Every structure is written in structure tokens, then in C-alpha cells.
């Protein structure tokens, strides 16, 4: 088998990334349907699972939601039994949002097998290959965050030209 030229290889890697992103999207869509929430609420659940209890403001910032959208998402998740609002330890005015045990169980039920299967597949790579993958994914993460900000800025600029208001996210 001949080695593809660099342009072909770059194209194939880019296409593989797009397919991977689409497949990840399919998993998240299936997960949201399974637990009976929308994708925004699932993202909030994921953030709380990854970072622990947080204020509504911090959750909204992490999820790129306006304060109003954050409140609505928390209300929906609370009604579904997946989050609860609790008073912060020393400050009675401060409220934290935390996952319920039901939410943690559902997250493990869905994403636990994904994580374990992924770890099994990663185990076949050498340390050098794992470092390359880590660096590539970290760079890809930063690229995606930068591009999301660029696209949001485009929307704000377009709305400004049209005289519309765009709620910050």
C-alpha cells in the first residue's frame, strides 16, 4: 500500500475529526432523549458532574447561557429530579446547584460504559502516541473554543448592524 500524500492525509484526518464530532453528537442526543431532557440541560448536567456543585451564575457562564436561560434550565432539571438548589455553607444568601443521586446514576448508566470502552481502546497506544493524542485533543479543544467565540461575535456584529439585540451568552 502506498503512503498517501500529505494533502490527502490532512484531508482524511480532517474528515475523521468531523465524523468523530458527529458521532459524539449522536451519543449526546441519544443520552438526552434517554434521560428526558434537552441538549442544553444535558450540558448543564455534564458540567455539574465534572465540576461539582456551583452557583447558577457559574453554571450559566460555563454552559454559555444567559442568566434567564440558566434559571429556566435549572428549573427544568429540578422538576425532572436531576438537580437541587442548596444553600452554600457559610453564606445563607448563596445558593449552589448540585446533581441529585438520581442524576449521577443516570450519567454513570449512560457515560460509564462509554468511558470504560474508550479507556480499553486507548490502552493499546504507546505512551508517545498517547502524548500525541493528548496534545492534539488539547489543541483541538482550544481551536473549538476560539471558533465558537468567533461565531458568537459574528452573530453579535450582524445583530448590531440590523439593529437587533442579541442577549449575551
Q: At residue 151, does pLDDT exceed 60?
A: yes
Determine the pLDDT at residue 10: 93
Q: What is the mean pLDDT of residues 144-154?
A: 93
Residue 81 gets which letter from DSSP? T
Four-residue CA torsion sign, 108, 109, 114, 120: positive
Q: What is the mean pLDDT of residues 138-163?
A: 91
Chain-centre distance for alpha carbon 102: 20
Q: At residue 155, does pLDDT exceed 60?
A: yes
83: β partners: 99
Confidence of residue 3 (pLDDT cuts 50, 70, 90): low
d(CA 39, CA 30): 10
Q: If 0-12 CB within 10 Å is exposed, 13-18 middle and 19+ buried, where does residue 42 land?
A: buried
Measured between alpha carbons, how far is residue 166 from residues 64, 117, 157, 160, 162 in Å?
A: 13, 41, 9, 8, 11
Residue 157 corresponds to which cell in the numbers above?
456584529
Q: At residue 72, does pLDDT exceed 60?
A: yes
**pTM of the predicted structure, to 2 decimals:** 0.82
Determine the pLDDT at residue 163: 78
- Which of 1-5, 55-59, 141-145, 158-162 is predicted least confidently? 1-5
Amino acid at each position: 500500500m502506498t503512503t498517501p500524500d500529505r494533502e490527502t492525509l490532512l484531508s482524511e484526518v480532517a474528515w475523521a475529526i468531523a465524523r468523530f464530532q458527529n458521532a459524539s453528537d449522536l451519543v449526546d442526543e441519544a443520552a438526552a432523549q434517554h434521560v428526558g431532557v434537552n441538549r442544553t440541560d444535558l450540558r448543564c448536567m455534564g458540567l455539574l458532574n465534572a465540576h461539582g456543585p456551583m452557583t447558577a451564575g457559574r453554571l450559566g457562564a460555563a454552559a454559555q447561557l444567559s442568566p434567564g436561560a440558566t434559571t429556566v434550565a435549572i428549573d427544568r432539571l429540578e422538576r425532572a429530579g436531576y438537580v437541587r438548589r442548596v444553600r452554600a455553607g457559610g453564606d445563607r444568601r448563596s445558593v449552589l446547584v448540585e446533581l441529585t443521586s438520581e442524576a449521577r446514576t443516570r450519567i454513570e448508566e449512560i457515560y460509564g460504559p462509554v468511558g470504560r470502552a474508550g479507556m480499553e481502546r486507548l490502552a493499546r497506544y504507546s505512551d508517545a502516541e498517547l502524548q500525541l493524542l493528548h496534545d492534539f485533543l488539547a489543541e483541538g479543544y482550544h481551536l473549538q473554543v476560539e471558533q465558537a467565540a468567533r461565531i458568537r461575535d459574528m452573530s453579535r456584529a450582524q445583530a448590531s448592524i440590523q439593529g437587533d439585540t442579541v442577549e449575551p451568552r
